Amino acid sequence: MFLHIGEEHMIPVRDIVLIADYESTTHSEITGEFFNISEEEGFIIDYSSGNPRSFVLTGETIYLSMISSKTLGKRINRLFGENGG
C-alpha cells in the first residue's frame, strides 16, 4: 500500500513512522534543530512546492507535503478500511 502525499508522489505506508502538522511542530527549538540537521544531511525531500502543511517521517527521510496531516491520516484510514486492516 502507498500513501499519496502530493502531486505524483507516493510512499510506502509500511515505511511511515509519523505524520505531523508542519507549522505546529516546527516552532519547538528541538524540532527546529532536528529539521536543520536533517536538511544539512540531505534527509528532507520537499514535495510541497515550498508550502509545507505537513511532514511524513520514515526511517530514512522526511517528506514535506502540501497536504494537511489530517487529510493524510484520513487517506491511511481509508487504505486500511478498504483492505481490512
Q: Which position has the higher pLDDT, 32 or 85?
A: 32
Structural domain including 30 reads 2-82
**CA–CA dist 23, 27 (Å, integer):** 7
59, 43 Cβ separation under 8 angstroms: no
**CA–CA distance from 16 to each of 11, 12, 27, 29, 38 (Å)?**
8, 7, 22, 24, 17
Mean pLDDT score, 4-16? 94
pLDDT at 72: 97
**Residue 54, Cβ density class (10 Å: 0-12 exposed, 13-18 middle, ≥19 buried):** buried
Percent of the chain with pLDDT over 70: 95
Q: Which amino acid is at 37?
A: I
Tracing cell 525531500 back to the chain, one arrives at 45
Q: How many distinct structural domains can be found in the chain? A: 1
pLDDT > 60? residue 24:
yes
pLDDT > 60? residue 83:
no
pTM, two decimal places: 0.88
Mean pLDDT score, 18-46? 92
